[in-house]
Amino acid sequence: MGENKSDVLQGTLDLMVLKTLEAMGPLHGYGVARRIEQVSDNGLSLNQGTIYPALLRLQQRGWIQAEWGVSETNRRAKFYSLSRIGRKKIAEETENWERIAGTMARFLAPSS
């Protein structure tokens, strides 16, 4: 279906979006992208555009919802916010991610 990124990366991006929305409240796409860049300290070479398929995916799952609003610069923009399901999923996804990260860490640790 035209998805050519690995599932891990996809899941990672999804979780970043969720955490961003959790921390910042309702936010437009540009805001989400900027926030992810800032938090990752530009360590992630991410095309800002790629967050839109991620936003759509989360929306289709019903984890986030969108509505039109007005930005701080008085520009009409679509604002995303966490849904009830999304809030519940964050914990689950976080745990998932930590397990994977932990496993990876063990692989990457210098073997004695």
> Within positions 79 to 108, which residues make up the interface with another protein, using CB under 8 A?
none
Q: How near is the Cβ of 17 to another protein at its closest, in Å?
A: 14
Across 91-105, b (16+ Cβ under 10 Å) vs e yields eebeeebeeeeeeee
The mark string for 1-20 relative to another protein (x by CB under 8 A, - otherwise) is: xxx-----------------
Cα 103 from Cα 50, distance rounded (Å)? 27
Q: Tell whether residue 65 is a contact of another protein (CB under 8 A).
A: no
* Contact window for another protein (CB under 8 A) among 17-25, 54-62, 93-101, 102-110: 54-62
CB 77 within 8 A of CB 69: yes
Task: Return the residue of 10, 39, 65, 71 that touches another protein, per CB under 8 A.
Answer: 71
Q: Tell whether residue 57 is a contact of another protein (CB under 8 A).
A: yes
Task: Return the residue of 15, 39, 59, 65 that touches another protein, per CB under 8 A.
Answer: 59
Token pair belonging to 31: 């805001």
Cα 71 from Cα 34, distance rounded (Å)? 14
Write out the residues near another protein by the rule CB under 8 A.
1-3, 28-31, 33-34, 47-50, 52-53, 56-57, 59-62, 71, 73, 75-78
